[in-house]
């Protein structure tokens, strides 16, 4: 038994996760709907990960801000982070629109059998921004309102800086708290192969591969757009051209986060792993990782932006809308804002894209049909979108770290575990 455990833990975690995913596809294809009986294992894994989100965000942001020693540095870091996230979001939605124009996924599509979906009202941007300031910080922690937690944690971190040496015991306490929570994260990650197996088996068993035939054009456009965005925007433009870093080393360093993102379909659920790989594999120091990544997990949704552009144009093509250049510009602008306002939960973007489709005059009944058509296939598509989101979070955090001189080149260059 001891030898079996030693052999199991001797295999790199990412290899165990990949093996679990492959086994999950096979088991799901053979077992079919019966995989519902093991879904609880996947839900347990996600629940354990989500259990860590609030303490990780709260503690790491406070510790990261306090370690800056200068509030002016926080302002510089924040402006660079938000501008980069906005730029990549605009590039993503533009790419999604362009691919939809070229590939025409809605031409010839038959939505006659689609069951209209319930279109949820999107949260106005003004309300979204107002919710950042918590009326009750304790309630924000209890509800898991990540943006509000970040806001309060930043204020607390700045307060620790202002208090100086008198606040040293509390600052040290938060630093120790970060160490403890990240150690617990490591334990939870050892359960990842089992959780991933159950989640992938359930998706494969309930949907099956043939289910994608009806939505193949949309899925193909999303896959192509995501690969282009990751290779050229993250790999070539940010890493290779701007930072002079190896995109291959970057991908190898973040593979565990990408695998967890794919299986959980949630940026916030992946956040504990994202923080771990940023610091341990990419060389992003805690002062940047702890501030940039929690923000990225809540506002950076490049995969969603690509998807919103594609599905919005898909709907326009299905119902014969003749869009003008002005319509495309409005779609890009609105889509970038909608992607920022997207809830960081599985399929959170599905209903919010109604805002984009309304901009060119699509009726609520038509939007409901498009949503109903996409709904059945959205979870597996969401898995891939989350991979793009996490890749973007880590690319931007690496760029900000390099700019702020908070980057450890030796950690980035070290050989990745095989």
Cα 130 to Cα 147: distance, rounded to the nearest angstrom: 10
Choose the weakest-confidence range: 115-124, 233-242, 275-284: 115-124
Quickly count: other Cβ atoms within 10 Å of residue 396's Cβ: 27
Provide mean pLDDT across the span 88-107.
90
**C-alpha closest to that of 383 among 196, 187, 144:** 196
Question: Does residue 346 contact residue 199 with C-beta atoms inside 8 Å?
Answer: no
Choose the weakest-confidence range: 111-125, 176-190, 240-254, 312-326: 111-125
Provide mean pLDDT across the span 315-337.
86
Per-residue pLDDT at 104? 87
Per-residue pLDDT at 10? 80
Q: Which residue has the higher pLDDT, 200 or 247?
A: 247
Q: Is 92 a residue whose pLDDT tops 90?
A: yes
Q: Is 224 a residue whose pLDDT tops 90?
A: yes
Q: Is 122 a residue whose pLDDT tops 60?
A: no
- Distant-in-sequence, close-in-space partners of 244: CB < 8 Å, separation ≥ 6: none
Mean pLDDT of the chain: 84
Provide mean pLDDT across the span 310-336.
87
pLDDT band at 111 (very low <50, low <70, confident <90, very high): low
pLDDT band at 414 (very low <50, low <70, confident <90, very high): confident
Question: Does residue 96 contact residue 308 with C-beta atoms inside 8 Å?
Answer: yes
Per-residue pLDDT at 118? 56
Q: Which CATH superfamily is domain 12-413 in?
A: Sodium:dicarboxylate symporter (1.10.3860.10)
Q: Is 161 a residue whose pLDDT tops 80?
A: yes
- Distant-in-sequence, close-in-space partners of 36: CB < 8 Å, separation ≥ 6: 202, 205, 206
Q: Is 363 a residue whose pLDDT tops 90?
A: no
Instruction: Give per-residue pLDDT as tens, 32-66.
Output: 888 899 989 988 988 888 888 888 888 888 888 88
Cα–Cα separations (whole angstroms), residue 244 to 150, 189, 338, 353? 31, 31, 32, 36
């Amino acid at each position: 038994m001891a030898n079996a455990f030693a052999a199991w833990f001797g295999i790199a975690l990412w290899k165990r996760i990949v093996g679990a995913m492959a086994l999950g596809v096979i088991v799901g294809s053979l077992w079919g709907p019966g995989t519902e009986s093991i879904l609880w294992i996947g839900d347990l894994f996600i629940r354990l990960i989500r259990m860590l989100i609030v303490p990780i965000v709260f503690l790491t942001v406070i510790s990261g801000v306090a370690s800056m020693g200068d509030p002016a540095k926080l302002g510089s870091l924040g402006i660079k982070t938000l501008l980069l996230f906005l730029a990549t979001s605009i590039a993503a939605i533009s790419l999604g629109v362009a691919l939809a124009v070229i590939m025409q996924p809605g031409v010839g599509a038959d939505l006659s059998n689609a069951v209209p979906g319930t279109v949820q009202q999107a949260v106005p941007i003004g309300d979204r921004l107002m919710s950042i300031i918590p009326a009750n910080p304790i309630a924000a922690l209890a509800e898991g309102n990540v943006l509000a937690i970040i806001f309060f944690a930043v204020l607390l971190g700045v307060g620790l800086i202002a208090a100086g040496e008198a606040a040293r015991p509390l600052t040290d306490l938060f630093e120790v708290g970060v160490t403890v929570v990240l150690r617990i994260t490591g334990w939870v990650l050892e359960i990842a192969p089992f959780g991933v197996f159950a989640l992938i088996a359930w998706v494969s068993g309930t949907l099956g591969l043939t289910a994608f035939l009806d939505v193949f054009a949309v899925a193909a456009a999303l896959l192509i757009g995501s690969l282009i965005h990751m290779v050229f925007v993250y790999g070539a433009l940010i890493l290779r051209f701007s930072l002079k870093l190896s995109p291959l080393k970057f991908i190898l360093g973040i593979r565990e986060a990408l695998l967890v993102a794919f299986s959980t379909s949630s940026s916030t659920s992946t956040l504990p792993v994202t923080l771990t790989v940023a610091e341990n594999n990419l060389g992003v120091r805690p002062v940047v990782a702890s501030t940039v990544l929690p923000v990225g997990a809540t506002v950076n949704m490049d995969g969603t932006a690509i998807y919103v552009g594609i599905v919005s144009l898909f709907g326009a093509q299905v119902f014969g809308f003749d869009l003008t250049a002005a319509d495309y510009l409005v779609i890009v602008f609105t889509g970038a804002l909608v992607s920022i306002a997207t809830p960081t939960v599985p399929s959170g973007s599905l209903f919010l894209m109604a805002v984009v489709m309304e901009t060119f005059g699509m009726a609520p009944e038509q939007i409901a049909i498009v949503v109903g058509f996409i709904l059945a296939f959205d979870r597996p598509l969401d898995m891939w979108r989350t991979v793009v989101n996490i890749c973007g979070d880590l690319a931007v955090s690496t760029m900000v770290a390099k700019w702020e001189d908070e980057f450890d080149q030796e950690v980035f260059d070290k050989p990745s575990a095989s």
